[in-house]
């Protein structure tokens, strides 16, 4: 099981909504109804899209895909906590975040279908590319945060990673530089229990990942990553703090990846049914639904409407991405920033008229 116990008095563990949707009144962020609705809608859309991507991959219509089921609260809570001016440094697991930042879903599909065009995002979205090499995004984010600081721009960076990424040197270099240079940085580690098949306990002997912040003189907190109210309010607080020059924060969001690591993985080989059932009961969408219901903001009709809308958005996006005709020359163009003479020659040979 992933650890949920806080490091003795030094690191707090925060949860606002329990698994049955009951709220801790002392921590209630009192978000407006409109924002609660948005959080819920995006989580439902994320799950609908995720299921579709998995099905597309299984039927040969999409290449490798990294499922997000179980981690919706982290992705949606983080996305809505950001200001437009802030910059994000996501991994393969957070591609849906691009949609909340303004990218059309069909373009994100294109990326997973192997077409570079899909991942050419408008610079105004302030999104860095999805990091596939583990942990490289952390030092990039600190460099960008340092640049923001030097330029006097009031914005922060939010970088994402998994529990496995904290075993890479890049993670530690980044936290160290962020503290020393006092950059406007927030680090979000989704502790989903595994780095592919490697369990969290094999990454580190530390009781929590959050406590690693202490070594670098920055703040650390462990939160319930399946509680969208907690994710949203913790990240918002951390970003406000970073933008105000009041320090950096490492947030460890404890969660669980319900599906495979990617479509190339079979989780049945390294985890058991009871563990999955334990986390199914802690589902981020279910508990938020119960909370909204208790507040009179959820009904069957509302659910039906949202499901239909999500399904239509996803199906329209699939139709558009499948109709897209990429330029086959892209196979050669995107290998390096500038094509080598060899590649130029190969491209010409391929496309010259016979
Ligand atoms: C530098 C590097 N080493 C190894 C890999 C292969 N790899 C891909 S995903 C992964 C596990 C990452 O686990 P974690 O950071 O916990 O993130 P999660 O996938 O669980 O979200 C590994 C080792 C890689 N992509 N990059």
Could you tell me if 345 and 268 lie in one domain?
A: no
Ligand 1 pocket, 252 CB below 6 A? no
pTM of the model: 0.95
Could you tell me if 247 and 332 lie in one domain?
A: no
In our burial notation (b when 16+ CB lie closer than 10 A, e otherwise), range 202-229 reads ebeeeebbbbbbeebebbbbbbbbbbbb
Top mutation candidate among 69, 196, 203, 262 for ligand 1, by most atoms within 8 Å of CB: 196
Ligand 1 pocket, 265 CB below 6 A? no
Average of per-residue pLDDT across 275-299: 98
Query: Whose CA is closest to 186, among 123, 283, 253?
Result: 253
Could you tell me if 188 and 219 lie in one domain?
A: yes
What is the extent of the structural domain holding 83? 12-323
Ligand 1 pocket, 69 CB below 6 A? no
Judge contact between 53 and 28, C-beta under 8 A.
no
Say how far apart CA 144 and CA 184 lie, in whole Å.
9
Could you tell me if 348 and 301 lie in one domain?
A: no
- pLDDT for 344 equals 94
114 in a domain, yes or no? yes
Q: How far apart are the first and last CA of the chain?
A: 61
239 in a domain, yes or no? yes
1 in a domain, yes or no? no
Say how far apart CA 142 and CA 156 lie, in whole Å.
10
Q: Compute the distance from residue 289 Cα to the ligand 1 centre, in Å.
A: 32
In ligand 1, the atom with minimum distance to the C-alpha of 134 is 26
Could you tell me if 188 and 82 lie in one domain?
A: yes
User: Residue 37 sits in a domain of what CATH number?
Assistant: 3.40.50.970
253 in a domain, yes or no? yes
- pLDDT for 4 equals 55
Q: What is the pLDDT of residues 30-52, one digit of tens each?
A: 999 999 999 999 999 999 999 99
Pairing of strands 194-195, 198-199: antiparallel
In ligand 1, the atom with minimum distance to the C-alpha of 161 is 15
Which residue owns the Cα nearest ligand 1 atom 25?
A: 133
Cβ neighbours around 109 below 10 Å, total? 26
Cβ neighbours around 167 below 10 Å, total? 15
Q: What is the pLDDT of residues 227-260, one digit of tens each?
A: 999 999 999 999 999 999 999 999 999 999 999 9
110 in a domain, yes or no? yes
**Which one is predicted more confidently, 64 or 352?**
64
Could you tell me if 225 and 340 lie in one domain?
A: no
Ligand 1 pocket, 23 CB below 6 A? no
**Which residue of the set 99, 261, 282, 287 is catalytic?**
261
Could you tell me if 304 and 197 lie in one domain?
A: yes
4 in a domain, yes or no? no
Ligand 1 pocket, 238 CB below 6 A? no
In ligand 1, the atom with minimum distance to the C-alpha of 93 is 21
Instruction: Name the pLDDT band for 74 (thresholds 50, 70, 90).
Output: very high
Domain count, the chain: 2
Ligand 1 pocket, 170 CB below 6 A? no
Could you tell me if 336 and 217 lie in one domain?
A: no
Is 281's pLDDT higher than 90? yes
Is 83's pLDDT higher than 60? yes
- pLDDT for 6 equals 66
Say how far apart CA 27 and CA 229 lie, in whole Å.
10
Which residue owns the Cα nearest ligand 1 atom 20?
A: 195
Could you tell me if 344 and 271 lie in one domain?
A: no
Instruction: Name the pLDDT band for 1 (thresholds 50, 70, 90).
Output: very low
Annotation marks residue 278 as catalytic: no
Which residue owns the Cα nearest ligand 1 atom 12?
A: 195
Say how far apart CA 274 and CA 45 lie, in whole Å.
27
Annotation marks residue 126 as catalytic: no
Is 193's pLDDT higher than 80? yes
Is 3's pLDDT higher than 60? no
Average of per-residue pLDDT across 112-120: 88
Could you tell me if 69 and 203 lie in one domain?
A: yes
7 in a domain, yes or no? no
Q: What is the pLDDT of residues 139-176, one digit of tens each?
A: 999 999 999 999 999 999 999 999 999 999 999 999 99
Q: Which two tokens stand for residue 184?
A: 């406007």
Ligand 1 pocket, 77 CB below 6 A? no
Is 2's pLDDT higher than 60? no
Could you tell me if 284 and 349 lie in one domain?
A: no
- pLDDT for 354 equals 65
Annotation marks residue 92 as catalytic: no
Say how far apart CA 238 and CA 233 lie, in whole Å.
9
- pLDDT for 328 equals 86
In ligand 1, the atom with minimum distance to the C-alpha of 261 is 19
3 in a domain, yes or no? no
Cβ contacts of 233 within 8 Å, gap of 6 or more? 16, 27, 29, 31, 81
Ligand 1 pocket, 259 CB below 6 A? no
Ligand 1 pocket, 210 CB below 6 A? no
Could you tell me if 269 and 336 lie in one domain?
A: no
**Which residue of the set 93, 99, 257, 287 is catalytic?**
257
């Amino acid at each position: 099981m992933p650890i949920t116990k806080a490091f003795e008095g030094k690191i707090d563990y925060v949860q606002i909504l329990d698994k049955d949707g009951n709220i801790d009144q002392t921590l209630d962020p009192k978000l407006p109804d409109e924002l609660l609705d948005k959080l819920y809608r995006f989580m439902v859309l994320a799950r609908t899209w995720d299921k579709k991507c998995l099905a597309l991959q299984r039927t040969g219509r999409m290449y490798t895909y990294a499922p997000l089921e179980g981690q919706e609260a982290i992705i949606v809570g983080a996305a809505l906590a950001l200001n437009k001016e802030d910059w994000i440094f996501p991994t393969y697991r957070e591609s849906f975040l691009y949609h909340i930042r303004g990218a059309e879903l069909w373009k994100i599909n294109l990326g997973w279908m192997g077409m570079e065009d899909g991942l050419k995002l408008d610079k105004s979205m302030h999104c860095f590319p999805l990091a596939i090499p583990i942990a490289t995004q952390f030092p990039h984010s600190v460099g960008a945060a340092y640049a923001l600081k030097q330029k006097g721009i009031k914005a922060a960076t939010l970088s994402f990673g998994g529990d496995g990424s904290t075993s890479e040197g890049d993670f530690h270099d980044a936290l160290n530089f962020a503290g020393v240079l006092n950059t406007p940085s927030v680090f979000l580690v989704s502790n989903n229990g595994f780095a592919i098949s490697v369990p969290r306990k094999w990454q580190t002997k530390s009781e929590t990942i959050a406590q690693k912040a202490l070594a670098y003189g920055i703040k650390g907190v462990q939160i319930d990553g399946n509680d969208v109210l907690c994710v949203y309010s913790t990240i918002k607080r951390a970003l406000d703090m970073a933008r105000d020059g009041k320090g950096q924060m490492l947030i460890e969001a404890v969660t669980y990846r319900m599906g495979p690591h990617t479509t190339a993985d079979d989780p049945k080989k390294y985890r058991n049914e009871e563990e999955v059932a334990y986390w199914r009961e802690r589902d981020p969408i279910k508990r938020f639904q119960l909370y909204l219901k208790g507040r009179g903001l959820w009904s069957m009709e509302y659910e039906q409407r949202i499901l239909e809308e999500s399904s239509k958005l996803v199906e329209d996006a699939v139709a558009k991405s499948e109709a897209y005709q990429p330029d086959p020359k892209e196979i050669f163009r995107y290998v390096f920033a500038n094509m080598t003479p060899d590649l130029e020659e190969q491209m010409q040979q391929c496309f010259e008229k016979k």
